[in-house]
Amino acid sequence: MKPRRRGHRWAVVGILACAGVVAVVAGSLVGSGTDASATPRDLEGAAVAFEPGASPPPASRSRAVDDEGMRLRAASHGLDVALGSLDSVDGEVTPPGFTSAYVVRDRSVALDDASTGTVVVAMHALSGGSAPGNAFIDPTTGTTMVGAGDLIDVATTRYTVTQVRRVPKPDLAFDEYLWIPAAGRLIVITCVPREGTAARDNLVVIAQATPTP
């Protein structure tokens, strides 16, 4: 059952979450007919396969862009990646790439207006690979690597992390606190990958804009 539009709340339809993914050895995705140039790659250049049923929608629907010429940085975690953008499709967010973080345009204010509303960013984390979300979650131990007080730069806006949550994927769209627009808020969503099986949870990092020194 899908949540309904209610007054000032955003119309979050379906599950707003990036799909879980699994890294595989380069060359083992399909048979000899595979187009290597089209094979997704992680931050270290290793080939990646989506979990069954979790492939991203056509770019014609999500209007996904891998690099908008800006960066997402979390210096204390060694994270510095391209900032892309996309739209949710049928209420779900599935980033097409594993080397960028993606602003979810239809759930965010424009980056130039970040001080006036909420910016939502989605990015993958990998089990057995390296993606932007791995800076925030250790897939081997399940340990959260980000916490209150950490700094995240999204384009020209600096945010300070105020809260970190682990939320089951089916529950994410119904978390009323997250989806009430708030001035200067950042929400970063990544998966909590698990060895050999589909991700069940999302890691949600909530941050607030803070003056840049």
pLDDT in tens, 141-155: 889 999 999 999 999
Burial of 39 from C-beta contacts in 10 A (0-12 / 13-18 / 19+): middle
Among all chains, which residue has been given the structure tokens 């089951």? 168
Q: Is 95 helix (H, G, I), strand (E, B) or coil?
A: coil
Give the neighbor-by-neighbor strand order of the sheet with 21-23.
48-50, 21-23, 126-127
User: How high is the pLDDT of residue 3?
Assistant: 31
Task: For residue 162, give the nearest of 210, 196, 115 by alpha carbon.
Answer: 210
Q: Looking at domain 21-209, which CATH architecture does it have?
A: Beta Barrel (2.40)
Q: Is 86 helix (H, G, I), strand (E, B) or coil?
A: strand
User: How high is the pLDDT of residue 15?
Assistant: 52
Q: Checking DSSP bridges between strand 185-194 and strand 79-86, what pairing results, if any? A: unpaired
Tell me the domain boundaries of the chain: 21-209
User: How high is the pLDDT of residue 22?
Assistant: 61
Q: Checking DSSP bridges between strand 185-194 and strand 118-122, what pairing results, if any? A: parallel
Residue 77 backbone zone (phi > 0: left; psi -120 to 50: alpha; other: beta): alpha
With a CB cutoff of 8 Å and minimum separation 6, the contacts of 126 are 21, 22, 23, 42, 48, 98, 133, 134, 139, 193
User: How high is the pLDDT of residue 28?
Assistant: 34
Structure tokens at 141: 């131990």
Q: What predicted TM-score, i.e. pTM, was given to this entire model?
A: 0.86
User: How high is the pLDDT of residue 10?
Assistant: 42
User: How high is the pLDDT of residue 213?
Assistant: 61
| Positions of the chain with pLDDT lower than 70, given as ranges | 1-37, 196-197, 212-213
User: How high is the pLDDT of residue 171?
Assistant: 86
Question: What average pLDDT does the chain have?
Answer: 83
